[in-house]
Structures are given as structure tokens and as C-alpha cells.
Structure 1
């Protein structure tokens, strides 16, 4: 039972380090190095790496240890194309649902937190609040299959954003877009909710892909 617990702990810790950017895309790490960082033996590190490899987050390389998988600009473009359509559909469905202000409280709180974090130049806090906005938007769309597909892609989007968070332009326009989507949903305007969110995600995709293409890796 202890071994399973250590593997789970290693998976959680390594995922957190990857998403926080502590283990950067394209970097190589020995099992012994990671084991020392996490205060455990190599065995759970190796087993955790196998699980993370299946999730596309790392690559095991003979005699070279564990490589953190690069964030591909093409992968991000493909993923954002799908996310754009699905999240925009969720926004339209949310607008059609006739939610009250109380129902939309979590969405409004995420926007308020994004504004507050931006004023404080807290980009990590902004990114966390942005995550909450998008998760809640999808939940409000009331489509379990849509939610499941989006959740599968969320990890790669988080990785790409962690990689580009401090080299991207200030996300003031993103905050304004979120408020416009909220207003459309609150007013029951499905077409405007869909189109506003669609344009927002397209712009985010173009910015992110351009940054990855310029600064990051191409499947090293």
C-alpha cells in the first residue's frame, strides 16, 4: 500500500512541477535527481514517469532519463480549434438556460478575481482565476460529454499557458472578453455569448501559438 501511495504522490508532485514551469518543456532529468527533490526512492519516480508518459507529459529516454515533453505549437493550434467550438457551444447553452445572477455567481467571482490579480500583477493568480472561469462556463453549458472532452485537453492548455505566461501581453483584453461573455449569458443572448467567446478563444489561440512558435520547441 505504501508503494502505491508513493507513486501517487510522485505523480501529483511531478504534474504540479510541470504545470508550474519548474520542470520546463524540453528539459531532461535523471530519476535520481527527481527522487532526491521529492525525498523518495527511484522506483516510484520511474512508475510515475510511465504514467505521465501515457498522458503525454513526459518521455522516457534510455540512458538520458526523463524528458519533459515539449509544448508543440501545432498541437496547441489543433486543441484550441476544438476548445473554441465546444466552449462557444457551452456559452450559448448557458445563455439559453435562463440562469439567475445567483446561478452565475461563480462566473462573476472568477472575473472579479482576474481583475484584482491583474491590478496586482499577479499573473499566476490571474491564470488560476481564468481556469475557474472556463471550467464554470463549461459546467453551465450542461453537457456532460462536452465537459468530458474539454477536461481531457485541459492539461495541455495549462502547460502551454504556464510556458508563455510571463512572455505574453498583459491579459487586459481577455478580462474584457470574459465580462462580455458573462453579460451575454446573463441577458440570455445565446448568439452573442457564442460569438463573443468564439472570437476570444480564436484570439487566444493565435497569440499562444505565435509565442510557442517563436520561443519554444518543435519536437526536440
Structure 2
């Protein structure tokens, strides 16, 4: 299991604890399927790779079980959960309701500093088709934008729910990534969404967020 760039949004607040670092590091590997579905997770190996010790890793694994990313069996150990395509409809149902809410809240409530940050992210996302060919890197960009929007919404409870659902959705994306066409185009849809948020256009931001979620489900189902 090799380390990968973190998927987390821009850091804010106090420095993360060792348990938080372990949680984020393991979570992002699970989300991107760097840890494959069904693969066992070894405390000692993860602690060595993450440089956090075994106790923070164990704390992280307990949190990840609540996120439905790992499952623990008595006397057998902890394993990455399977990716179940039948979950797609349930995940999309939640995201279709809450992603537009987060986008509209971000458009109304984001601070000026946050809007400037999102504007820079929009510029960085423009023209990805010509600059980035690695599909996994494109997917990482997609996750980054989603998490920045959730944070900009200013509701930590809403952010928590959406991060968890986006994690599960991203695992499904990864499963079919090589078969889904126009991944870069899908990610570049975020440019218009970010611009709507920066400009304070709440209704437009909500509409674009919904279109993005619906497009995700449609793209996956097209290759099933």
C-alpha cells in the first residue's frame, strides 16, 4: 500500500492529532482503492507507513468502520469493505438532496477569503482536459472540489454527511474509472459551480450541483 497525496480540503483550525492524521491517511487510500476492497488492514504496517504508532491507527480504524469503509471481524481482523454497486441509488438519493444545499449555502455564506480560494481553485480546474491525462489524478481533483464546497457551506454536520457519501461515491467511480469516458469533462463541470458560488448565485450553484450528481450516476450506469 503506497502513500498517496491527501484528498482533504485546505487545512483550517488547529493542527490534526496523530489519530486524525491516521484517519485521513487510511481513509484516502480506501476511497481511491489504493487499499483494495476486501484487503486486510495491518495495524503495524499502517503505523509504520503513516508514522503515527499503533494506537492512533486503531482509533482511526474505529472511525472508518462508522464510515462504512472498513469492517472488523472478531479474531479475523479488519478489512476494507466491498464496493457494492447496488448502493449507488441510495448514495445518489442523499447527494441529490444535500449537494445542492451545500452549494447554495456556500454561495450565500462563504467568506471573502473563502471565495478567493474557490476562485483560484476554479482557475486551476479550467482546462484540465489539456493538462491532466491521469484519470486517478482527475478524480482526486474532483474530490478536492467537493470537499472545498462542503467546507465553504459553513455547516460542519452537513459537511460530515456529504464527505462520507462522496467517499462512497468515489469508490464506485474508481471501480469503473477506466471504462467511464470524458472524466476530465466531468471534473471541469466544477468550474461553473465554483464561479456561481464565488459570485453568490445560490440558485445557480444548487442547480449545477444537482446536475453534477445526476451526471455521475448516469455515467456509471452507462458502463454497467
TM-score, normalised via structure 1 length: 0.68
Partner of residue 105, structure 1: 116
Indicate yes or no: 2:157 matched with 1:145.
Answer: yes
Indicate yes or no: 2:30 matched with 1:18.
Answer: yes
In the alignment, the residues of structure 2 paired with residue 173 and residue 117 of structure 1 have an alpha-carbon distance, to the nearest angstrom, of 8
Deviation at 1:16, TM superposition (A): 4.9
**Cα pair 1:92 1:185 within 8 Å, conserved:** yes
Structure 2: 5+ residue stretches without partners: 1-17
- For residue 169 of structure 1, the aligned residue among 147, 169, 181 is 181
Query: What is the SS of the residue equivalent to 2:105?
Result: helix
In the alignment, the residues of structure 2 paired with residue 95 and residue 53 of structure 1 have an alpha-carbon distance, to the nearest angstrom, of 33
Structure 1: 5+ residue stretches without partners: 215-220
Deviation at 1:149, TM superposition (A): 1.9
Deviation at 1:131, TM superposition (A): 1.7
Indicate yes or no: 2:169 matched with 1:157.
Answer: yes
Please identify the structure whose Cα radius of gyration is greater: 1
Deviation at 1:146, TM superposition (A): 1.4
Note the alpha carbon deviations across 1:105-134, whole angstroms, 9 max, x for none. Answer: 322333344446542302232222222211
- Report how many residues are paired: 201
Pair 1:192–1:155, CA change in 2 (3 A): closer
TM-score, normalised via structure 2 length: 0.67
In the alignment, the residues of structure 2 paired with residue 161 and residue 178 of structure 1 have an alpha-carbon distance, to the nearest angstrom, of 16
- For residue 146 of structure 2, the aligned residue among 106, 129, 134 is 134
Partner of residue 56, structure 1: 68
Indicate yes or no: 2:88 matched with 1:80.
Answer: no
**Cα pair 2:31 2:170 within 8 Å, conserved:** yes
In the alignment, the residues of structure 2 paired with residue 112 and residue 48 of structure 1 have an alpha-carbon distance, to the nearest angstrom, of 38
In the alignment, the residues of structure 2 paired with residue 73 and residue 208 of structure 1 have an alpha-carbon distance, to the nearest angstrom, of 9
Relative contact order, CA 8 A, sep 6+: which one is greater? Answer: 1
